[in-house]
Amino acid sequence: MVQLVLTILIYLIIVIPVGRYLYHIAAGKHTFADPVFDRMDGVIYKIGGINPKKGMNWKQYVLALIGTNAVMIGIGYLILRIQSISFFNPNGIEGMEPTLSFNTIISFMTNTNLQHYSGESGLSYLSQMLVIIFMMFVSAASGYAACVAFIRGLVGRTKDNVGNFFVDLVRITTRILLPFSIVGGLLLVWQGVPQNFNENVAVKTLEGTYQVIAMGPIAALEIIKHLGTNGGGFLGANSSTPLENPTILSNLIELYSMMLLPGACVITFGKMVGDSRKEHLAKLAPDNALPEHRESITAKIYGREGRSIFLAMGILFLVGLSLCCWAESQGNPLLAQIGLDQSMGSMEGKEVRFGIAQSALFTTVTTSFTTGTVNNIHDTLTPLGGMVPLLHMMLNVVFGGKGVGLMNMILYAILAVFICGLMVGRTPEYLGKKIEGREMKLTALCIIIHPFLILVFSALAVATQAGQAGITNPGFHGLSQVLYEYASSAANNGSGFEGLADNTYFWNMTTGLAMFFGRYLSIVIQLAIVGSLMKKNYVSESAGTLQTNTVSFAVILVFVVYIFAALTFFPALALGPIAEHLTIWG
Amino acid sequence: MNDTNKQTAVHWIRQSVVVTLILLLLCGFVFPVVLSGLSAVMFPSQAKGSLVTADGEAVGAANVGQDFTEPYFMKCRPSACQYNTYYEDEEGSQFYNDGSEFAGLASGNNNYAPSNPALTERVEADIEEFLAANPGVSREDIPADLMTASGSGLDPHVSPESAQIQIPALAEASGLSEEELSQIVADNTTGKLLGVFGEETVNVLGVNLDIAKAMGLVSQTTK
């Protein structure tokens, strides 16, 4: 317990400077490292013919994002298909099959990192670098770019300029992801994560048998996997392997690398909204000025609006973590029945060095921050312990990876404002803009896509022979496996109930589609919403305006999220994890 | 499409392609190569996989468990991939220690759900085997980690309780005293980080290297 509290406290402290730094990058403000990076970026802009001063409207921004992603998909697919060439391929890995290549490339471009291959036998070092590591950087950068554009739109300094996609992509990669990766990567090597280009080593053991040990550029992939909230491992068993995650310290480094940037996004949001509010107030005549006590809080670290969003996410996170940790520490009653002491908790699928507490924390974090990396095997979690990661992917708003969680949460905030507005009979407003028919329709559409993808594809899988063939655990857990796979795909998480035999034509194609729509439809609609909000004029606050920067709004937000989730997902959860729980404890 | 539109389209495609190629080079190639270079200079042993040696030959990796069969060596936790440990027959075919065919480098777990009867069966079989090899131990005293498989199938550790419970049988087979073995276990135990984070662990390969040294099977080891 103590270690969980401490781990989270340390997070709350270190997220502040990172949030400040991200805010400076996003808002184009001066930072200490500018002299170096300005030159580097300048060269890239020059070669690419990019005019960094030229802004884009939301449609152009989306087009640039999707177009660039399409180019990346094309190049990546080609490399996967020809990876058998003997360049950076000491272990002689073969080329990848087409539907698996399709699934893999969509998976990594959409920042999902669902893996239907096993890294040890499926990828050459060249593919690990030029496809996997490369995509881990740019898919994360694309996500953050979309988030930054979304915030700019919400803040609404201009009527149509949300920034330049290419500039955002480059700045986020060179100023945040690359430098953080070098430092974090070295820390991981220090802890014992291999980083070389040698072929796998076969040693002769003390008993005269042999053991083969994996090698490769593991640390390089490992750090960006977490920093970019990607999650796809170098090895099949991901961060549970002592090669990817050898010590408790490496575990903490990986944990913080995936938590920092999504948290920092919320701070960036708070600060940018705060800035614009100050400007707006300054423009107003003195007799219109708001009461003083409101302005005095703006200096707060998280920004006023950011604070309530952060609080709501924090509450959801802690509820999930407590349930998961409690369920795992209860152990498995079926093993207790055959006489195996369960006071240690449910250790199947967990590493001794992490134990129950750090495993439960990692599980909750990886699905809340939509990373998808695992330090224990989720398929083996107790039913309720496994329901937490499933639920957090279904919600997809608890911090969320690469800025997407923030964008989703803002949609729920709009929904909450709308519901509260209906109760008191006023036109709802958020951040000084009226929420009207067009925004509400788009919000509803965006919120419904996610459960639609999960539930429809799950229904398809359990209704067809091809889908059922993948299920490997009997009983209610089989349904959990299916739900998990699609929740993970649609939320662009990428973790799996690994038992699912998913490298088949059916699973490769359906999860590929779920990942694709889950990612791009959301981004397009979210940017369309801010595009529409930007065009509106500020409305002045009045006594009837719902305050969105308070604790009570955070609580309302939490309830809106839970009510929506209960209405949508409860029947499916009741048939999967809850039924399994009742069976084994019954 | 008129000429200006065409020009704009070409300009956009150029930006997309050039940015992609530059980032491909920077993130996909320069970054891993630079990191390898720095690691090789700053942490040469870890970068190469933290291999441990006995009499100058590599016998394993500090961070990877192994499948041990000799009665005088401490056992790791069960593993679905049997720690990628195998032997070769005369024809060069490769087999796991239990005689099944070696499937190649892997990692992972059986992925049995808690409710899966296969899990209970596997644990029951392992308990029977352990009780047979460790007479005097009662079923209720076996720590849970020793009878359950790790997530990676490569877990190099067992809990201190799981190490302790193997000592009487190890003493019998190795001829070392229980005190000596307890000391070896203590030497290979790592506490919690700052006394708070993580769990106490015993490195099994480390223990077995020390046992081999104490028994005179090898003369020099590095860990």
Cα end-to-end distance, chain A, whole Å: 28
| CA nearest to A516, candidates A112, A200, A85, A23 | A112
Check CB contact under 8 Å for B197 and A252: yes
Residue among A195, A217, A584 whose CB faces B114 most closely: A584
SS3 A150: helix
Best probe of the B interface among A206, A254, A256, A485, by most B CBs < 10 A, is: A206
SS3 B94: strand
What does the pLDDT read at residue A345?
93
Interface of A with B in 40-79 (CB under 8 A): 44, 47-50, 63-64, 67-68, 70-72, 75
What does the pLDDT read at residue A301?
72
Residue among B26, B140, B157 whose CB faces A352 most closely: B157
What does the pLDDT read at residue B167?
95
What does the pLDDT read at residue A286?
52
Mean of the pLDDT values across residues B206-213? 95
Residue B34, chain A, CB below 8 Å: the answer is yes
Where residue A295 falls among pLDDT bands split at 50, 70, 90?
A: very low
Interface of A with B in 91-150 (CB under 8 A): 118, 120-121, 129-131, 133-134, 136-138
Bridge partners, residue B94, by sequence: B88
Where residue A427 falls among pLDDT bands split at 50, 70, 90?
A: confident
Which chain A residue has the Cα nearest residue B199? A353
pLDDT digits (tens, 9 = 90+) for A26-56: 888 888 888 888 888 999 999 888 888 888 9
What does the pLDDT read at residue A196?
93
- Helix-strand-coil split of chain A, %, nearest 5: 65, 0, 30
3-class secondary structure per residue, A424-488? HCCCCEECCEECCHHHHHHHHHHHHHHHHHHHHHHHHHHHCHHHHCCCCCCCHHHHHHHHHHHHH
Which residues from A are below 8 Å from B51, CB to CB? 201, 203, 213
Per-residue pLDDT at A297 exceeds 50: no
Residue among B15, B85, B153 whose CB faces A205 most closely: B85
* Choice between A434 and A403, residue whose per-residue pLDDT is larger: A434
Cα end-to-end distance, chain B, whole Å: 70
Per-residue pLDDT at A92 exceeds 90: no
Q: Show the DSSP H helices in A27-133 as ranges.
A: 34-48, 58-81, 98-109, 119-122, 125-127
State percent of chain A over pLDDT 70: 97
Residue B130, chain A, CB below 8 Å: the answer is no
Per-residue pLDDT at B108 exceeds 70: yes
Are the CB atoms for A344 and B145 separated by under 8 Å? yes
SS3 B16: helix
Where residue A9 falls among pLDDT bands split at 50, 70, 90?
A: very high
DSSP result, B51-64: EEEETTEEEEETTS
What contacts A9, CB < 8 A, 6 or more positions away?
A: none
Which residue's entry shows tokens 């990428």?
A494
Best probe of the B interface among A124, A211, A230, by most B CBs < 10 A, is: A211
Check CB contact under 8 Å for A213 and B61: yes
Are the CB atoms for B207 and B185 separated by under 8 Å? yes
- Encoding tokens for residue A166? 């290419």
DSSP result, A237-293: TGGGSTTTS-SHHHHHHHHHHHHHHHHHHHHHHHHHHHHHHHHHHHHS-GGGPPPHH
Compute the mean pLDDT over every residue in chain B, rounded to the nearest whole number.
Answer: 92
What does the pLDDT read at residue A539?
82
Residue among A47, A235, A375 whose CB faces B107 most closely: A235
What does the pLDDT read at residue B2?
62
Mean of the pLDDT values across residues B21-36? 94
Residue A336, chain B, CB below 8 Å: the answer is no
Burial grade of A503 (CB within 10 A; 0-12, 13-18, 19 or more): middle
**Alpha-carbon distance B41 to B43, whole Å?**
6
What letter would DSSP give residue B218? -
Decide if the complex's ipTM is over 0.85: yes
What letter would DSSP give residue A542? -
What does the pLDDT read at residue A296?
42
Bridge partners, residue A210, by sequence: A204, B86
Q: At CA A202, angle to CA A201 and CA A203, rounded to 5? A: 110
What does the pLDDT read at residue A284?
65
Residue among A120, A133, A472 whose CB faces B28 most closely: A133
What letter would DSSP give residue A320? H
Best probe of the B interface among A45, A191, A195, A375, by most B CBs < 10 A, is: A195
Cα torsion A326, A327, A329, A330 to 10°: value is: 120
pLDDT digits (tens, 9 = 90+) for A237-294: 899 999 999 999 999 999 999 999 999 988 888 888 888 777 777 776 555 554 444 5
Pairing type for strands A429-430 and B221-222 reads: unpaired
pLDDT digits (tens, 9 = 90+) for A210-226: 999 999 999 999 999 99
Per-residue pLDDT at B137 exceeds 80: yes
Taking the alpha carbons of A23, A25, A27, A32 in that order, is the dihedral positive or negative? Answer: positive
What does the pLDDT read at residue A538?
83
Residue B155, chain A, CB below 8 Å: the answer is yes
| CA nearest to A396, candidates A514, A556, A308 | A514
Other beta carbons within 10 angstroms of residue B97's beta carbon come to 17
pLDDT digits (tens, 9 = 90+) for B153-208: 999 999 999 999 999 999 999 999 999 999 999 999 999 999 899 999 999 999 99
pLDDT digits (tens, 9 = 90+) for B65-87: 999 999 999 999 999 999 999 99
Residue A181, chain B, CB below 8 Å: the answer is yes
